[in-house]
Homo-oligomer: A and B are copies of this chain.
Amino acid sequence: MNRSAAPIGVFDSGVGGLSVLRELLRLLPDERYLYLGDSARVPYGSKSPETVQLFARQCARFLADQQVKLIVVACNTASAVALEAVQAEVDVPVIGVIGPAAQAAVRATRSGQIGVIGTRATVNSGAYSRAIQRLDAAVSVHSQPCPLFVPVVEEGWTDHLSTRLIAQEYLTALFPPSNGNGSHLPTPIDTLVLGCTHYPLLKPLLHELLPGVELIDCGEHAAHIARQQLLAQNGLAPARPRNDHRLPADVRFYLTDIPPTFVPIAERFLGFQVNLVERVEIDHLCAQEVRLHSSPPGIPPIRPAAVA
């Protein structure tokens, strides 16, 4: 069965994956898209791998049930800790954002020192280090979680002075001031992976703080891999007529919660007007493998030593 007319499914914990969707729309404008944001349970980046795996499987199951031809895990945290779980869950080809960004970073680096910034869950997973070193074992990877970048982007404070201070604090570990005791690295980091789909909105600030450092936007590279994947499965959508150079976007938005801030934030990410959004429920999908229970008998209550 030729499924080229079927939509591409894209999911994220919330709005961040819209930066990936934007790149998909640029590269593959003739496709139809279903975008699912798990906004009822956003964010994933501060949660445990087990919980993110369950949530990501539920997102993928929902999209697979809509007969998508390809699933793009447009979330670094889910790609880092749940890609295999998602691939096992559904019969549809699944691509994440980490492999494509790792490839791009290895191609870009001259110094052999790559920095990776992301959520705590992404960094703790070590997924970028593994992906990069599988491609080139001689490359060193230096990671830094930047948990406050997501909320400042969602607040729209991408050029606020406080955001600059936050960025300086986080980046000092990877890019030590050159007039101090010098870097601990033999050669400086020349390539920085933006390992969270919110971070492309901080590109202007990061370019300014890190002149000469190549910034890797995972969405851009994931879109190329998506195109390759569709070519390989003979699944590219037929070209649609366009009467000018602007791209018609055929996107259906699903959210697990519709907060009042979604539309303005989504428009900031996408750069076009978002009209209709549909709320869906996914937490009943994919029974947990290990069902958890409260209060197994015999476990004594916790008695912390003392309150000062």
Residues of A that sit less than 8 Å from B by CB: 22, 25-26, 29, 32, 39-42, 46-48, 50-51, 62, 65-66, 120-121, 124, 147-148, 150-152, 154-155, 157, 160-163, 165-166, 169, 246-254, 256-261, 270-281, 283-284, 288, 291-295, 299, 301-308
Residues of B within 8 A of A252 (CB): 301-302
Contact assessment for B280 and A302 in the assembled complex, using a CB-CB cutoff below 8 Å: no
Identical chains in the assembly:
2
Question: What residue of chain B has the Cβ atom nearest to residue A36's Cβ?
Answer: B294
Query: Whole-angstrom distance between the alpha carbons of A250 and B40 in the complex?
Result: 32
Residues of B within 8 A of A124 (CB): 260
Of the candidates B50, B66, B284, B306, the one whose C-beta lies within 8 Å of that of A249 is: B306
Residues of B within 8 A of A166 (CB): 162
Question: What residue of chain B has the Cβ atom nearest to residue A295's Cβ?
Answer: B66
Contact assessment for A162 and B151 in the assembled complex, using a CB-CB cutoff below 8 Å: no
Query: Whole-angstrom distance between the alpha carbons of A121 and B253 in the complex?
Result: 22
* The 8 A-B residue pairs with the shortest CB-CB distance in the complex, in nearest-first order: A162-B165, A246-B306, A247-B307, A162-B162, A51-B257, A151-B151, A281-B292, A276-B302
Candidate in A39, A40, A250, A256 with the most chain B CB atoms within 10 angstroms: A40
Provided the pairs A40-B51, A162-B162 are in contact, do residues A308 and B257 lie with their beta carbons within 8 angstroms?
no
Residues of B within 8 A of A275 (CB): 302, 304
Provided the pairs A148-B152, A294-B62 are in contact, do residues A249 and B307 lie with their beta carbons within 8 angstroms?
yes
Query: Whole-angstrom distance between the alpha carbons of A277 and B160 in the complex?
Result: 38
Residues of B within 8 A of A258 (CB): 48
Query: Whole-angstrom distance between the alpha carbons of A51 and B271 in the complex?
Result: 28
Provided the pairs A48-B257, A165-B161 are in contact, do residues A271 and B62 lie with their beta carbons within 8 angstroms?
no
Question: What residue of chain B has the Cβ atom nearest to residue A41's Cβ?
Answer: B41
Of the candidates B47, B291, B301, the one whose C-beta lies within 8 Å of that of A257 is: B47
Contact assessment for B165 and A169 in the assembled complex, using a CB-CB cutoff below 8 Å: no
Query: Whole-angstrom distance between the alpha carbons of A58 and B149 in the complex?
Result: 31
Residues of B within 8 A of A302 (CB): 251-253, 274-277
Residues of B within 8 A of A160 (CB): 165, 169
